[in-house]
Structure 1
Amino acid sequence: MTSRLFSSVLDVATLGKFPRIQKWVWRRIYNMLSRFWGDKDWRFMNYGYVPSGAPFALKPEDEAERAFIGLYQQAVEGLAVKGARVLEIGSGRGGGSRYIARYHAPASVTGLDYSPETVRRAQKLNADTPALSFVQGDAENLPFPDAAFDIVVNIESSHCYGDVPAFAREVARVLKPGGIFTFADMRPKSQLGLLDDQLAAPGLELIDKRNISPNVVAALNAAEARKQARIGKAFLLRRFMSEFSGSKGSVLYKALKGGSVVYQARRYRKA
């Protein structure tokens, strides 16, 4: 029953039949999860990424989060992050913004999230990191001036938005000329063409596009034991969390592994 219900919710969400309702529901889901789990053991809210080549360097205290950090490492790898002004849209509990701030020496990192409870949780969990701040705001109407950032990061968040083209226009507005927008998220294979159109905001030039589904599935496998240990503590939410987190056997796990859902990483440059 839980799997069928979750599948139906995903179908409505990805097809965008009720975009404003979808946005409202996601906000409340993340508010609920932030209240339910308040400790540092769950600083990331993504499916993860395991690189195909050699592993990247991490401090010993961050090794437990390697699979989830990988999605951010691939997003900024090779970019001129040092001294840059970085914005993460959909920053969740702040683990990704914290990683960029601690490992890549930007001038500043600002994390923005739509869920007020999640922003409060991110501020508390990451208060020890200099040059890092979090604000509540809407991805479709960013509270920042034009050309305010050198790099905009968006990881596994856009599928929650009610108006993706408006989001892309806002990204183009807040990026400085020559700035980079680095994006990663999943879509049904049949909707990749639609995603092309949605992110084709004036001024944004697509410079790289990759299917990273195998790397994401590898990360889901690597995190399975830890994930199940965590889910086992949530008796009332156990079945929902198994689906939500992409555990083995879940709707999304099977879709990503089978190819009916594709996880893409993209980069755009502001003209």
Structure 2
Amino acid sequence: MAIKERINPFDKTLRNEIGEKAIKLTNKYLYPFVTGRFAPEDVVFLNYGYEEDPPLGLPLEADDEPNRECINLYHRTAAQVDLEGKGVLEVGCGHGGGASYVKRYLRPASYAGLDLNPAGIDFCRRRHLVEGLDFVQGDAEDLPFPDESFDAVLNVESSHCYPHFSTFLTEVARVLRPGGHFLYTDCRVTRSVVEWEDDLANAPLRMLSCADIEPQIARGMKAGRAGTEAVLSRTMPAYLRGLARMQAEWGQKTLTKGNLAYRVYCFQKD
């Protein structure tokens, strides 16, 4: 029995580890590769979808409608406070679709999108020509901005990629003005939740709200699955589709089985 348990490839812990490694490989290699070589101009979101019951029903322009579920997650996170007229930084902006949405619909005075991937930043600068919207290449754990530069910092489904999450939180607090807000959503596998919560509790920020949104994420992923499959088929060579599909399928299965915590937070700097 002990030998069987050691070599069992279907062990639950092993499956979770394989899923997590697929995500890490995707973040490290697939996103930059796809952005630099395959991403068409319409692939502007990289996050999971979100949908409420009844549906959120955001009024969107026709060009934004294909990305409704991904936009819903940005809206749920960013609209926790009034951003109109504010200075906003998004850390981990990906392909910039969320940055464009927030700038155009929630009307902050200025919006800076930062990402570690230089190919992604080049894509954003070419694709999103919106007044007051700028993109910067940089590290989430060493933000290239002076102290107290922003009224709000937004982070959507990106922090699980950071090697030192607590360092990122310290940087968020540093660049926020007093009274500014950290608007945040992300996920962790069950065994990582305690460490996640400890890091958030020890951050130099005050938690105003926290909500579990696993059902809404699962509903959004289901609603947007056909579109995701179409994008994979259109943009990626066959040898990369499997890795991206594995990430999406693992996330959905882990979420629906209760092995993945997905939350949205609002923090404030005193």
TM-score by length of 1: 0.88
Gaps of 5+ in 2: 1-8
Gaps of 5+ in 1: 15-21
Look up the match of 2:259: 260
Determine the C-alpha separation between the residues in 2 that align with 1:214 and 1:140.
Answer: 31
Look up the match of 1:112: 114
Q: Which amino acid aligns with 1:236?
A: Y
SS at match of 2:65: helix
The 3 A distance-change label for structure 1 pair 241 and 150 is same
- Is contact 1:146–1:174 with CA below 8 Å preserved after alignment? yes
TM-score by length of 2: 0.88
Look up the match of 1:19: none
SS at match of 1:139: coil
Determine the C-alpha separation between the residues in 2 that align with 1:237 and 1:136.
Answer: 25
Equivalent positions of 1:52-91 (< 5 A) are 52-53=53-54, 54-91=56-93
Q: Does 1:209 align with 2:210?
A: yes
- Is contact 1:13–1:160 with CA below 8 Å preserved after alignment? no
Moved more, 83-92 or 57-66: 57-66
Look up the match of 1:163: 164
The 3 A distance-change label for structure 1 pair 232 and 197 is same
Look up the match of 1:270: 269
Determine the C-alpha separation between the residues in 2 that align with 1:254 and 1:266.
Answer: 23
Look up the match of 2:4: none
The 3 A distance-change label for structure 1 pair 202 and 219 is closer
Look up the match of 1:240: 243
Equivalent positions of 1:1-271 (< 5 A) are 7-11=16-20, 26-53=27-54, 54-126=56-128, 128-233=129-234, 234=236, 235-244=238-247, 246=248, 250-271=249-270
SS at match of 1:182: strand
Determine the C-alpha separation between the residues in 2 that align with 1:11 and 1:61.
Answer: 33
Q: Which amino acid aligns with 2:244?
A: M
Q: CA deviation at 1:139?
A: 0.5
Moved more, 48-57 or 133-142: 48-57
Q: Which amino acid aligns with 1:240?
A: L
Determine the C-alpha separation between the residues in 2 that align with 1:161 and 1:251.
Answer: 20
Q: CA deviation at 1:197?
A: 1.5
Q: CA deviation at 1:84?
A: 0.3
Determine the C-alpha separation between the residues in 2 that align with 1:200 and 1:129.
Answer: 36
Determine the C-alpha separation between the residues in 2 that align with 1:202 and 1:228.
Answer: 38
Aligned residues: 256
Determine the C-alpha separation between the residues in 2 that align with 1:103 and 1:173.
Answer: 27
Q: CA deviation at 1:186?
A: 0.7
Determine the C-alpha separation between the residues in 2 that align with 1:265 and 1:101.
Answer: 20
Alpha-carbon RMSD across the aligned residues, in angstroms, is 2.2
Q: State percent identity of aligned pairs.
A: 34
SS at match of 2:201: coil
